[in-house]
Amino acid sequence: MTDHDTLLDGTKTAAAIRAEVAAEIAALRAAGVTPRLEVVLAGDDPASRVYVGAKAKACGELGIGSHTHELPAAVTRGELEELVDRLNADRDLDGILVQLPLPAGLDSHAVLDRIDPAKDVDGFHPHNVGLLQQGRPGPVPCTPAGVMELLRREGIEVAGRRAVVVGRSDIVGKPMAMMLLHAHATVTVCHSRTRDLAAVTRQAEILVVAAGRPALIGADHVAEGAVVVDVGVHRVDDLATVERLFPGNTRKLATFSSRGSVLAGDVDFTAVAPKAGRITPVPGGVGPLTIAMLMANTVRAARRRRGV
């Protein structure tokens, strides 16, 4: 079993962030302002529905006005852009989120580029990407922002340390590397063409993994005492794989027996945890932070837009 002090508890940190956001929302509502977030959900991707449902629930709990626009998988680019234009023009709306991935055949860049940068609570618009690159204030992607909050609140020093990011997506990998760089880490980015991945990741004092491959990172990839942040979330529904990834873990096996699946990350937790100085679990690590930071981004957008 992993020592409780080794775990980086994303659920606890997310709760602290949400409590701070709730206080900000109460102050805004007292001033006659109710932050509003609207989500565009196109198609019937099951994971997207779960994420959107969690976001709507968080809005309801914190007092953020919210609505989800559910569109069929056959929606056209023109119809999506028309909806985004209407949301941009709504002066009472603070945040617009287009849930990814979009149905096949739709250009996500074209749709995201159409969002008003001031309402881009995901931080994906090129304008906001440019602000992040320059280290200037603006909306930032929720998952890497959540990772930085976790490190900060857990007292993990970033400045001067060697950080390795596995994954180069626009959503996590690239902005994660940029935020670590702005925090004065020395940053290396790995990807599918990195030669001898384990040799590179073993250099990391802080290792952030967002590769999209279950259990990619094993004990050989990690230096003794490293801080390991696992961004990956995968539903594993094969018993043999569960037994391989979680040997002797009766709780995981019980969950599999009752639900037919368990969640796993990009890091082989059982193998890596004994070597790591600190490590995030899956679930209960980065996931809750993403939604907490979305709420924070929405409130910040409301304050900026309304000059509060």
What amino acid positions are annotated as catalytic residues?
A: 55, 99, 122
Annotate 251-265 with DSSP letters as a single string: HHHHHHHHHS-EEE-
Partnered with residue 96 across adjacent β-strands are 38, 120
- Residue pair 221/211 in contact by the 8 Å Cβ criterion: no
Can you state the percent helix, strand and coil of the chain, rounding each to 5?
Answer: 45, 15, 40
- Residue pair 36/66 in contact by the 8 Å Cβ criterion: yes
CA distances from 307 to 28, 90, 147, 300, 303 (A): 11, 17, 28, 10, 6
Using DSSP, how many helices (H) and how many strands (E) does the chain show? 12, 10
Distance CA 250, CA 243 (A): 10
Cα of 105 vs its chain's centroid, Å: 25
Please list, in sequence order, all residues whose beta carbon lies within 8 angstroms of the beta carbon of residue 75, skipping any fewer than 6 positions away: 42, 43, 103, 106
Burial code (b: 16+ CB inside 10 Å, e: under 16) for 137-162 equals ebbbbbbbbbbbbbbeeeebebeebe
- Residue pair 299/113 in contact by the 8 Å Cβ criterion: no
